[in-house]
Amino acid sequence: MGGAVRGVASLIDPATEEPWATVATGGGIEDADLAVAAAKRAFSSFSRTSVEERIDLIDRIIAAYERRTGELPELLAYEDGIPVSFAGQVKSSIGHMTIARDVIRDYAFERRMGDTIVRREPIGVCGLISPWNWPIQTSVVKVIYAIAAGCTMVLKPADASPASAIALAEVMDEAGTPPGVFNLVIGRGSVVGDRISRHPDVDFVSFTGSTDAGRRVAEAAAQTVKRTCLELGGKSANIVLRDADLEKAAHFNIQRGFSNSGQSCHAPSRLLVHESQQDDILKFLVDAIDLTTFGDPRDPSTTHGPMVHAQQYESVQRHIEIGLNEGGRLVTGGLGRIEGFDRGYFCKPTVLADVTPEMTLAKEEIFGPVLVVMPYRTEEEALEIANDSIFGLGGYVFSEDRQRGYEFAKGIRAGRICYNGANAVPSTPMGGYKESGIGRSMGVYGLEEYLEVKSVYGFADEAAGLPEN
Instruction: Give every CB contact of residue 382 below 8 A, 6+ residues apart in sequence.
Output: 239, 241, 272, 274, 376
> Does the annotation mark 347 as catalytic?
no
Q: Does the pLDDT at position 323 exceed 60? A: yes
The per-residue pLDDT of the chain, averaged, comes to 96
What pTM was computed for the model?
Answer: 0.96
What residue ranges define each of the domains in the chain, with the CATH number in brackets? 7-232+436-464 (3.40.605.10), 236-419 (3.40.309.10)
Question: Using 50, 70 and 90 to split pLDDT, how confident is the model at 6?
Answer: low
| Chain centre to alpha carbon of residue 97 | 16
Q: Does the pLDDT at position 62 exceed 50? A: yes
CA dist., res. 165 & res. 154, Å (int): 12
The pLDDT of residue 469? 86
Q: Which listed residue (126, 151, 229, 265) is catalytic?
A: 265
Q: Which listed residue (231, 435, 448, 449) is catalytic?
A: 231
Question: Using 50, 70 and 90 to split pLDDT, how confident is the model at 1?
Answer: very low
Q: Contact, 57 vs 147, CB < 8 A?
A: yes
For residue 76, give the nearest of 18, 1, 174, 162 by alpha carbon: 162
Q: Does the pLDDT at position 88 exceed 90? A: no
Q: Model confidence over 254-311: pLDDT tens digits?
A: 999 999 999 999 999 999 999 999 999 999 999 999 999 999 999 999 999 999 999 9
Q: Does the pLDDT at position 3 exceed 80? A: no
Question: Using 50, 70 and 90 to split pLDDT, how confident is the model at 89?
Answer: confident
Amino acid at 231: E
Q: Does the pLDDT at position 177 exceed 50? A: yes
| Chain centre to alpha carbon of residue 215 | 16
Question: What is the pLDDT averaged over residues 327-351?
Answer: 97
> Does the annotation mark 74 as catalytic?
no
CA dist., res. 35 & res. 3, Å (int): 8
**% of the chain surpassing 90 pLDDT:** 96
The pLDDT of residue 204? 98
Question: Using 50, 70 and 90 to split pLDDT, how confident is the model at 9?
Answer: confident
Q: Alpha carbon of 394 to those of 211, 272, 425: distances in Å?
A: 15, 14, 14
Question: Using 50, 70 and 90 to split pLDDT, how confident is the model at 26?
Answer: low
Question: What is the pLDDT averaged over residues 299-327?
Answer: 97
Q: Does the pLDDT at position 246 exceed 70? A: yes
Three-state secondary structure call for residue 268? strand
